Amino acid sequence: MKTSYLLPHKYKTLGWILFIIGLSAGFIFVFNGYEANLLEIDVLSIFNDSNFFGSEKGFFKIIKNSIVDELIALAIIVGGLLVGFSKEKIEDEFIYKLRKDSLVWAIIFNYMVLVFTILFVYDFTFFHVLVFNMFTPLMFFVIRFNFLRLKSTSYEE
Amino acid sequence: MKNRIKVERAELDITQADLATKIGVSRQSINAIEKGKYVPSTVLALKIAQLFKKPVEAIFTLEDQD
């Protein structure tokens, strides 16, 4: 089974490590109220139209920012992509179908959850929904794919 | 679609894992095909038939709802 977009199997382990570290750090970060003053460095902000956090408005400004949240988000996204889009040990048409079905399922499920939260979650709490929703499509996909894959491993002779 | 893979396997006395290795697919695929949860592509069906040295129709047959 030839697929053009899949990475070699060896990236899977790296993906899991990044994904799990990212998710754990992410939960800690959220429970601490999105506060972190570590790793504050100069970053390039290409566009900023709010001074909610005291930064200057405008285009292409160098600002000070803690990059903890950026690192966490990147770890989850890169990790999740590596896990979801690296080849399995044996890649064939059935695995390919499981991956595709899981992607469809994840998108539909994600938006059903989002519709529910739009209707029933209000005020600043909805900010949490927005944050989680950056990662839930990828998370649901990875969980669903691995669940189906492991489920179809059980067999009788 | 029905298939006789399990029977054919029993006749040759090979496991799902053996069959999977012989045709170069995952064991999950063979398992899903045997259970009727997955309809293999024409290429895969031909490979399976070739391995059992039988025509495809002897192994895979249509059902009324197909």
Q: Which residues contact A35 (CB under 8 A, 6 or more apart)?
A: none
SS3 A56: coil
SS3 A125: helix
- pLDDT tens digits along A58-111: 889 888 888 999 999 999 999 999 999 999 998 999 999 999 999 999 999 999
Tokens found for residue A41? 């460095």
Closest CA to A60 of A48, A52, A51, A70: A48
Please answer whether residues A67 and A75 qualify as being in contact, where contact means their C-beta atoms are separated by less than 8 angstroms.
no
- pLDDT tens digits along B31-57: 999 998 999 999 999 999 999 999 999
Q: How far apart are CA B27 and CA B19, in angstroms?
A: 8
Among A93, A95, A155, select the one facing B41 at the smallest CB separation: A93
Tokens found for residue A113? 């959850």
Nearest Cα of chain A lies from the Cα of B45 at a distance, in angstroms, of 12
Q: Among the listed ranges A14-28, A40-54, A91-105, B39-53, which one has the minimum average pLDDT value?
A: A40-54
* ipTM surpassing 0.90: no
Nearest Cα of chain A lies from the Cα of B64 at a distance, in angstroms, of 24
pTM of the full predicted structure?
0.87
